[in-house]
Structure 1
Amino acid sequence: MLTFSFNHIALSVKNVNQSLEFYQKVFQLEEIKNTASESKTRWLSLNEGKQLHLIPRPNFQIKVNKAVHFALTTSNLDSFISNLKELNIDYSDWRNTPNKDYIRKDGIRQVYFQDPDGYWIEVNNDI
């Protein structure tokens, strides 16, 4: 039987520098070397060997909806939400209630917000 583990997520972005700044500011991610090519794609470390790749596509039309998202988890969701407020980043629950977190049936709290290209990001406390 084959086994798999998560390696990276890649996002097409209109302005790679703006997106890099956003992810560094919101998640305090460290930029790492793009070892795959000499392209302008920028890589960020998600720790434990996991990565976020930002691929510049300035003329690409990006279509998104909340059901297509990626999720990160933190042990201190309240602190993270405070950080979103300080950065003036709007967030909502799954039902789009502004500035509200959501508690799932299994007790996990979560919030959703969008990056500069409109990609949806979930942050939860599922640790």
Structure 2
Amino acid sequence: MKHYIKAGWSLFILLLCISAYTSAQTVKKPSLNHLAIYVVDLEKSTTFYRDIIGLETMDEPFKDGHHSWFKVGPHSQVHIISGAQAPTTHNKNTHICFSVPVMNDFLANLRRQHISYEDWAGKPDAVTNRVDGVKQVWLQDPDGYWIEINDDKY
């Protein structure tokens, strides 16, 4: 009987170790919660991100007239915050990227709205074709922030 109790405890301890190891292996990694963009004209930027980029607006808790929030994923958002004194120059390497389901539809909307875009090299009205087959274009928001739009399928 003592032998079975000892074996039972050994099995119990083994199961605890396996459980602890499994729990350690499933620890969640950091995920993107939100990006905040500081802008001069909240209404102009809100219109741009809603009507040109196509982001979904969401309720924002401050209700102070200085914020717009957009849903960009199950638990991710873009926050537009007014108060910047002037647009600033940004390098294209510092950018936000959104994927769209159909690049041609997105480009047609840019043309309808008279929004200029370019390829990575800066050629106007051109599309970059990456080596992996993804198409991408680059444009700037009203405050000069660079935005990459691509058709990557996730």
When normalised by structure 2's length, the TM-score is 0.75
Specify which structure has the higher proportion of helix: 2
Equivalent residue for 2:33? 7
Give the C-alpha shift of residue 60 in structure 1.
5.0
| Per-residue deviation, 1:34 | 1.7
TM-score for the superposition, normalised by structure 1: 0.90
2:88 aligns to what SS in structure 1?
A: coil
Q: Report how far residue 49 of structure 1 moved.
A: 2.8
Runs of 4+ in 1 over 4 A off after TM superposition: none
Aligned twin of 1:117:
143
2:82 equivalent in structure 1: 56
Residue 2 of structure 1 deviates from its aligned partner by 5.6
Offset from partner CA, 1:52-101 (integer Å, 9 cap, x none): 10111231552311110010111201110111111100000000000000
Q: Does structure 1 residue 33 correspond to structure 2 residue 44?
A: no
Question: Which amino acid in structure 1 is aligned with residue 105 of structure 2?
Answer: S
Greater RCO (Cα-Cα under 8 Å, separation 6 or more): 1
1:46 aligned counterpart, secondary structure: strand
Aligned counterpart, 2:49: 23
CA distance in 2, matches of 1:63, 1:71: 18
Mapped to 1, the partners of 2:77 and 2:60 lie a distance apart of: 10
CA RMSD, 1 decimal: 1.6
Q: Is 1:108 matched with 2:130?
A: no
* Residue equivalent to 1:46: 72
Of the three residues 86, 89, 93, the one matched with 2:115 is 89
1:78 aligns with 2:104: yes
Q: Which amino acid aligns with 1:87?
A: Q
Q: Which moved more, 1:113-122 or 1:55-64?
A: 55-64
2:78 maps to a residue whose letter is L
Q: Provide the identity percentage.
A: 33
What is the letter of the counterpart of residue 62 of structure 1?
A: T
